Each structure stands twice: as structure tokens, then as C-alpha cells.
Amino acid sequence: MSRKRIIAGNWKMNMTPSEAVALVNELKPLVVNEDVDVVFCVPAIDIIPAMEAAKGSNICIGAENMYYEEKGAYTGEISPNMLVDAGVKYVIIGHSERREYFTETDETVNKKVLKAFEHGITPIVCCGETLTQREQGITIDWIHQQIKIAFLNVTADQAKTAVIAYEPIWAIGTGKVATTEQAEEVCAAIRVCIGEIYDEATAEAIRIQYGGSVSASSAPELFTQPDIDGGLVGGASLKPDFGKIVNYNK
Ligand code: PGA
């Protein structure tokens, strides 16, 4: 079975609404590749203008975060219904920066993943180890634990549609991309973990991205590995280079 590649940009806290429109317009003609689902995950305030600018293109606009309650007294948060009403189909959940700076835990990640599915939004569930954990040789155990908690009470049918982003924390924004072997090893281990939680069919269907300093030069080798189904791209998603990354197979 062949899984369609999914390449998502993670804009992080960059781009004002007007800059977002300009960037979507600039990248629109560059990110055309019928073999790939292309997603731009943008700051909440940029979602609507980016969505307008992306109309008629193959770009899908996603969010970078979402809260797990329906509505109410949660000042500053974005609800699932707000995303749905804006037309959002994907949301990044549990990025390591949210875990580090905004007290996101495996448990809140799980609540958000369940809530996203409840509202028909596809979560891009992030996991990844620190450099210390890698040096201690506990990478796979750590990732398995993150995945098991993130997918607690998620059904097999839901999991089949999910996206997991494996992002070694030491590779994010550092220019230090994991080797193809390191990335493939962990993505394959994540697939095994999904097979253990669910079954073979779910493991075969779920899409697993690599993220961490992906560039136009590293993308072709990374995205053609058997268990790497695309990427989550930070820095390079804000540049015309993103077009080359999306067209990694051309
Ligand atoms: P980077 O970020 O590509 O700038 O390393 C990736 C991410 O944090 O998703």
C-alpha cells in the first residue's frame, strides 16, 4: 500500500496577517505536486487571510495548536469549533516548543488529539527525544511512551487518518538534520508501535513525518524512505525553498 506523502509547513510565531497573504501568494505556484498533500500550519490570526489567499490552490491551511475544551472561560485559547468554522482540516498537536514553553504534557496532547478527531480535524501529533535521551539510548522507549499516551482512547479508524511528526528536539531549528538512517529507524519504530496498539492495517495507513532542519537538499533522501511519509518543516517553509521540498521527487 502506498501512502500519499504529506508535507506541512510550521510557521511558528512568524508572519503578520498581511505577510501571511504575501507568502501564500508567493509560494502558491511553487508548491504544486499532485503526489503530495501540502499543508501550511499558520498562527491563529493568519488562518482566515491565509485561507482566502490559498483559495483555488492545492494548499490546505492548518493550525499550530488548539484547546481541548469546547468553549468558555479560557482566555486566549482557540476552540476546535473556531478552527472547523474557519475551514481548518489539520492541527499540530504537542509540538516540542509547546511542551517546553507552554507546559503541554502527554496528557494534554491526548485530550487535544481526541478533541480534534471529535471535530473531524486531523491532528499532526508531534513526538521526539532530546539529545540527552538519544545519548542515553532511550530514544525508542521514550517515543513509544509519547505515542501510547497520545493515542489513548483513539480508535483504529481515527488513528488510520492521523499524522505523526517525529521531530528530534536536537534537530529543530539547529541546522542539524538527523541522518536518514536515524530518521527512518525512529519512524519505522513508531509504525511498529502503532501496529502493537492497533493492528497491521492501521500501522500501514498512518502517515509519519520527519521534522527537524529539513531543507531542499535533505528532503529527497528523507522522504523516499519506506517509513517516512513526508515532513514537518519550520524555517524552510517560510522561503521559496519550500517549493523544492514539496517537489522532492521531481
Ligand atoms: P525546523 O523546525 O525545520 O526549523 O527545524 C521544524 C519544526 O519545529 O517543526
Q: How far apart are CA 244 and CA 90, in angstroms?
A: 22
Q: How far apart are CA 85 and CA 87, in angstroms?
A: 5
Identify the active-site residue in 64, 95, 104, 184: 95
Q: Is 173 in the pocket of ligand 1 (CB under 6 A)?
A: yes
Based on the number of CB atoms within 10 Å of its own CB, is 80 exposed (0-12), middle (13-18) or buried (19 or more)? buried
What are the grid coordinates assigned to 126, written together?
Answer: 508531534
Determine whether 135 is an active site residue.
Answer: no
Smallest CA separation from ligand 1 atom 9, residue: 234
Digits of tens for pLDDT over the chain (250 positions)? Answer: 589 999 999 999 999 999 999 999 999 999 999 999 999 999 999 999 999 999 999 999 999 999 999 999 999 999 999 999 999 999 999 999 999 999 999 999 999 999 999 999 999 999 999 999 999 999 999 999 999 999 999 999 999 999 999 999 999 999 888 999 999 999 999 999 999 999 999 999 999 999 999 999 999 999 999 999 999 999 999 999 999 999 999 9
CA distances from 203 to 55, 64, 113, 197 (A): 33, 25, 17, 9
Determine whether 77 is an active site residue.
Answer: no
Q: Is the pTM of this model over 0.85?
A: yes
Ligand 1 centre to CA of 192 (Å) is 25
